[in-house]
Amino acid sequence: MVVGQIIGGEYGELLVRQKSGQIIEIGDLLSIDDIILQVYDLAYGSLLEDTDIARMSGMQLEGYDDTSLMEEEIRNYVSAKAKPLVHVKKGVAKIPKRLPGFFGTVDRVKKDDFYFMEEPENSLYLGKVRSGSMVLDVPVKINGKEALSHHILIPATTGRGKSNLVKVMLWDMVPKEWCGVLVIDPHDEYFGRNEIGIKDHHDARDKVLYYSPNPPKGGYSLRINISLLRPWNLRGIIDITDAQSQAMYVYYNIYHDNWLKAILRAEAEDAKAHGIHETTLNVLQRKLQLSFDVRMVNGEVVPRGSIFVTQGSDNMVNEIADALEDGKKVILDTSSMSGDKELLIAGMITDRVFNRYKKYKELGELDSKPTIGIVIEEAPRVLGERGGRNVFHSIAREGRKFRVGLIAITQLSSMIPREILANMNTKIILGNEMKSEREAIIGSAAQDLSKDGKNIASLDKGEALVSSIFTKFAVPIKIDLFDDVVEGGRKKTKLEFFG
Ligand SMILES: Nc1ncnc2c1ncn2[C@@H]1O[C@H](COP(=O)(O)OP(=O)(O)O)[C@@H](O)[C@H]1O
Ligand SMILES: [Mg+2]
């Protein structure tokens, strides 16, 4: 259906005159020849002089007779600015390098225009192609295995659908063998303890593990024996001075697994013998007691809470790492923990997996392993400047060499160093009204999104723009509502069952 005509502009900035009776919106996809355009701005156009328009408006407002324009739809119009998104040549998507025909008419895109989109290997479903606010029945899938190891960033303001998107992605990944996913869930919203969630997937029983400090039936207890901690697990997560850090390493080198207990028990004399200042020891002891929720009773380390323990549970980190390596999805309910504890635990597990994968790489065994994804909320907590050199930083920098990637969720991309942002090679951009945030995202995207500021600002709940080195162009999508996906999954299972 013809919605307009090209009346001017230049490469990357075409002017389309809207046909009267048609409505073109920001974000709409239009097609002309074999090129798909995307509208990024709208303005009025008129053949009349400004003064004439003002005079006529005055007459209409003040009640003078018949001032209606002859052929108004010809004189006044809406003009849309559009940029070429993709050029389809013999079924293959290319970056457009030419202008569509001058004065050519443009149509709205149809499902068939996307015949070139094919099913990638190890696919990960994200949503459906969206033209403005209209959804087309064209699924958007990326090569998930590649995308995951090159990190996925999900930036948006609160309430735009980040969590919903992660649920939709997890649902799709549950049965897939090419990835293991660790979900650190500070809102306990993914498993679906009390509502619909990942647990409702028909493969969940075999493929999903749920760890919680107070697990429901079928879940596992989230408890960590403090002997599993290593000094480097604290790096970039707990504020520690160099002197304190050195003290930890001194004890670790002497006492190995028992280093933490040894520090907590240490007397000033003992520390002095290892070259550690009394005040350093005292402050460190207090910090460690606080971080790990333990206290000293008659020279013994006693847990105060239920998460960090001194006896038993010494295999949890390995169990989780095994499950991930087995392509399972592991959800950690960290909703009852302080941020520090959450990150300590997440960091320990991540560190274990990362080290194993480094080893596999050395041994040349990486190809037989699933890619590991780590879902982390409020990512700037660990990726921001303050984070220093924690394991998440290391993964963001070099994880892709070892097939370990982050799925980083954030409201504040601007707090993540540019170098790391640029390393996140797939960005699923949801709505954001903050200009500084949009600029940080646009400045580090895989495609040129310099014209997409308004487009991103106007994204509604569940509407997104996928910019990835694994897509030929920045694909506008509508993400399904998770509840609908679950419902659809149920119907399908029923059909299979009876069919
Ligand atoms: N894809 C979507 N389609 C329709 N509505 C959505 C979609 N995603 C989210 N919503 C709505 O927006 C609300 C907030 O979504 P949520 O995923 O919790 O946002 P965020 O995690 O970004 O704060 C949801 O409760 C839901 O009602
Ligand atoms: Mg959320």
Task: Check: CB of residue 324 under 8 Å from CB of residue 183.
Answer: no
* Alpha-carbon distances, residue 415 vs 344, 388, 408, 444, 457 (angstroms): 21, 13, 13, 13, 19
- What pTM, to 2 d.p., does this model score? 0.93
Q: Calculate how far, in angstroms, residue 429's C-alpha sits from the geometric centre of ligand 2.
A: 14
Continuous H helices in 399-481 = 418-423, 435-442, 453-457
Could you tell me the domains of the chain?
2-114 (no CATH), 123-223+314-498 (3.40.50.300), 227-308 (no CATH)
159 C-alpha to ligand 2 centroid (Å): 7
CA–CA separation, 283 and 287 (whole Å): 6
Smallest-distance ligand from the CA of 168: 1
Amino acid at 465: L
- What does the chain come to in residues? 499
| Tokens found for residue 233 | 């697990």
Q: Read off the pLDDT of each residue in 332-343 and give the average, rounded to a whole number.
A: 92
Lining residues, ligand 1, CB within 6 Å: 156, 158-164, 461-462, 479, 481
- Residue 185 tokens read as 């869930």
Question: Of all atoms in ligand 1, which is nearest to the CA of residue 430?
Answer: 22
Residue located nearest, by CA, to atom 8 of ligand 1: 161
Q: What is the pLDDT of residues 396-406, one digit of tens each?
A: 999 999 999 99
Instruction: Compute the distance between CA of residue 115 and CA of residue 112 in angstroms, rounded to an integer.
Output: 5
Alpha helices in 126-241 (DSSP H): 144-149, 162-173, 204-207
Element housing 395 (H / E) = helix 391-398
Q: Atom 9, ligand 1: which residue's CA is nearest?
A: 161
**Using 50, 70 and 90 to split pLDDT, how confident is the model at 99?**
very high
Residues 44/79, Cβ–Cβ less than 8 Å: yes
User: 325: closest CA among 358, 295, 370?
Assistant: 370
Q: Which atom number of ligand 1 is nearest to the Cα of residue 168?
A: 1
Cα of 377 from ligand 1 centre, angstroms: 15
pLDDT at 253: 96
236 contacts 390 by C-beta, under 8 angstroms? yes
Confidence of residue 67 (pLDDT cuts 50, 70, 90): low
Which mutation among 461, 479, 483 tests ligand 1's pocket best, with the greatest number of atoms within 8 A of CB? 461
* 300-329 average pLDDT score: 93
Contact (CB, 8 A) for 52 and 46 = no
CB atoms within 10 A of CB 371: 25
Atom of ligand 1 nearest to the CA of 158: 23
The pLDDT tens digits of the residues spanning 167-214 come to: 999 999 999 999 999 999 999 999 999 999 999 999 999 999 999 999
pLDDT of residue 388: 67
Percent helix, percent strand, percent coil in the chain, to nearest 5: 40, 25, 35
Q: Give distance in angstroms: CA of 431 to centre of ligand 2.
A: 13
Largest CA distance in the chain: 101
462: left (phi over 0), alpha (psi -120 to 50) or beta: left
